[in-house]
Amino acid sequence: MKFRLSILLILILNGVISAQQDSNRVYMFVPQMPAFKGDVDAYVANHFQFPQSEGSQGAKGTVNVTFVISQTGEVADVKILSGVYPDIDSEAVRVIRTMPAWTPGMKDGKPVRVQYNLPIHIQPNNNSSNQRHENVYRQRDTIKISREGLYLDPNIGAGIGGPPLSSTDIKVSRGLNLKAGVGLTKMLSSNIGFSTGLQVQQYNFSYSIDNTNATTAFDGTVTSYRSAGADTVVTAGYSGSIKYTFLYAQVPILARYISSQENRLGFYAEAGVVLGYLVSSSITGDVTQTQYQLTQAPNTYWYMYSATLPASPTPVSLTAQNPAKVTASFHADIGAIIPFNAKFSLILAATPDIGLMNAGNGSGDVMNFGSTKFYVFGNGNYGNFTTWLFDAKLLIKLSGSSRVIHLY
């Protein structure tokens, strides 16, 4: 019995010691770093009282102060890492110690002790009395956001695209293309990362044709003299307006660069490959077939021909017969990033997607008019689908460091 009580006491004691060690541990970086309730630079500048000692007057440089933010946000363990002059260093320590409570750092949902370093830049005192704190340098050259971590990346885009204009003898008009998707971005540093995800993109393009010219009887097609019997030839011409629509599910594999600055317009770029899988395709519109009948009577030198138009156009409702199931394109994206804070940004960019694979063969897209056939896309391939889009993306921080680094 005594043995069991001893083991229990040891376990309890170890738990107490472990809890005390965890509560006393000081972290350098945590997912949610401590935050000053206001502008820490303005606070230091407004409370720093420049010493009047002779050695302080010409001093300049940077006082690097380190301190700990406790679980309750209190400032503790203030030390000088590197100083400028003893009186100035002492004043820097005094100002830090007078700071109000911070918002503490958080790890695993609990407040923890975090080490924090703060540089205070000093420039020579020129004894001017009309600027209270001119010897404390406060101007920031750069404010950089440390963006390492995982981001959610919803995006939409709109533009024009489709097959090359010369992919067939038909003059193609590229229509409105729409794209929407969501991605995941892993930033390996403040500027460089990789992105993938899932998106859908719709390609729309159309054309109009009109190769029907004759609408009345005409005699004058001179041929060889026919001495006996009649000869009749029937052919057809077409006019119409056709629209193609392709819908692809796509997986982008991209490298990404972000210019990480707070409250400033930054540069954004990405490049890589987009793989696509055909979800659906459709061909819509209407076509009018004009029947031409050419007849050569006996004992004549010419044909008589007439054109017969149907009462109304024939509607087109087809599925493309031989499109490529898998496509690939080279993707590039160049634009601007508008950061609202360290965790949320808006990206506006222009995107060319240049097709790397043929999108399929259009010679199988056929309409039958009795014994004649109308080849909807002609006899050519669709070619490589290429698009030009304007993109809007949101960059939403999910995990990782989101601290702001001040560079002076």
pLDDT at residue 374, rounded to an integer: 84
The kind and range of the H/E element at 97 are helix 86-97
Judgement on whether residues 384 and 275 belong to the same structural domain of the protein: yes
How far apart (Å, rounded) are the C-alpha atoms in residues 283 and 369?
A: 17
Judgement on whether residues 357 and 383 belong to the same structural domain of the protein: yes
pLDDT at residue 402, rounded to an integer: 52
Q: Average pLDDT of 72-78? A: 91
* Domain-ending residue, one of 139, 160, 176: 139
Residue 404 lies in a domain: no
Judgement on whether residues 194 and 316 belong to the same structural domain of the protein: yes
Residue 18 lies in a domain: no
Residues 6+ apart with CB under 8 A from 84: 59, 60, 61, 62, 63, 122
At residue 129, does pLDDT exceed 50? no
At residue 260, does pLDDT exceed 80? no
* Domain-ending residue, one of 118, 139, 160: 139
pLDDT at residue 132, rounded to an integer: 40
**Residue 277 pLDDT class (50, 70, 90 cuts):** very high
Judgement on whether residues 60 and 204 belong to the same structural domain of the protein: no
* Domain-ending residue, one of 88, 121, 139: 139
How far apart (Å, rounded) are the C-alpha atoms in residues 90 and 82?
A: 12
pLDDT at residue 289, rounded to an integer: 83
3-class SS shares of the chain: helix, strand, coil, % to 5: 10, 55, 30
pLDDT at residue 283, rounded to an integer: 92
- HSE of 253 in the Cβ direction (CA atoms, 13 Å)? 5
Which is more confidently placed, 211 or 108?
Answer: 108
pLDDT at residue 187, rounded to an integer: 87
At residue 320, does pLDDT exceed 80? yes
How far apart (Å, rounded) are the C-alpha atoms in residues 235 and 372?
A: 8
Judgement on whether residues 367 and 306 belong to the same structural domain of the protein: yes
* 171: phi then psi, degrees, rounded to nearest 5: -85, 105
Q: What percent of the chain has pLDDT over 70?
A: 76
Is residue 404 a contact partner of residue 342, using CB atoms and an 8 Å limit?
Answer: yes
Buried-state track 205-234, b at ≥16 Cβ within 10 A, e below 16: bbbebeebeeeeeeeeeeeeebeeeeeeee
At residue 219, does pLDDT exceed 70? no
Residues 6+ apart with CB under 8 A from 123: 60, 134, 135, 136, 137
Judgement on whether residues 264 and 330 belong to the same structural domain of the protein: yes
Query: What is the residue-averaged pLDDT of the chain?
Result: 80
What is the domain-level CATH number for residue 58? 3.30.1150
What is the domain-level CATH number for residue 169? 2.40.160.20
DSSP string, 16-79: HHHHHHHHH-EES--SB--B-SS-HHHHHHHH-----SHHHHT--EEEEEEEEE-TTS-EEEEE
Residues 6+ apart with CB under 8 A from 294: 221, 232, 233, 234, 235, 303, 304, 305
Q: What percent of the chain has pLDDT over 90?
A: 31
Domain total in the chain: 2
Q: Which pairs with CB-CB distance under 8 Å and at least 24 residues apart come from 306-312?
A: 306/214, 306/216, 306/217, 306/218, 307/212, 307/214, 307/215, 307/216, 307/237, 309/212, 309/215
Judgement on whether residues 179 and 259 belong to the same structural domain of the protein: yes
Range of the domain at 253: 149-399
Is residue 107 a contact partner of residue 27, using CB atoms and an 8 Å limit?
Answer: yes
Q: Which residue, chain included where needed, has tokens 């056939």?
A: 373
How far apart (Å, rounded) are the C-alpha atoms in residues 29 and 115?
A: 8
* Region of poorest pLDDT, from 10-19, 332-341, 358-367: 10-19
How far apart (Å, rounded) are the C-alpha atoms in residues 294 and 42?
A: 94
If one counts every other C-beta atom within 10 angstroms of the C-beta of residue 105, the result is 25
Judgement on whether residues 221 and 363 belong to the same structural domain of the protein: yes
Judgement on whether residues 213 and 348 belong to the same structural domain of the protein: yes
Is residue 265 a contact partner of residue 151, using CB atoms and an 8 Å limit?
Answer: no
How far apart (Å, rounded) are the C-alpha atoms in residues 18 and 184?
A: 38
Residue ranges of E strands in 88-162: 105-107, 110-122, 136-137, 142-145, 149-162
* Region of poorest pLDDT, from 171-175, 308-312, 326-330: 308-312
Judgement on whether residues 120 and 263 belong to the same structural domain of the protein: no
Q: Which residue, chain included where needed, has tokens 């199931």?
A: 325
pLDDT at residue 16, rounded to an integer: 45
State the pairing for strand pair 26-27/110-122: parallel
Query: With a threshold of 0.85, does the pTM exceed it?
Result: no
Judgement on whether residues 299 and 275 belong to the same structural domain of the protein: yes
Judgement on whether residues 113 and 175 belong to the same structural domain of the protein: no
How far apart (Å, rounded) are the C-alpha atoms in residues 337 and 342?
A: 12
Tokens of 98: 């007078």
* 54: phi then psi, degrees, rounded to nearest 5: -60, -40
DSSP string, 154-189: EEEEEEEEES-TTSSSS--EEEEEEEEEEEEEEESS
The dihedral over CA atoms of 61, 63, 64, 66, expressed in degrees to the nearest 10, equals: 180
> 16-20, 59-63, 184-188, 341-345: which has the highest mean pLDDT?
184-188
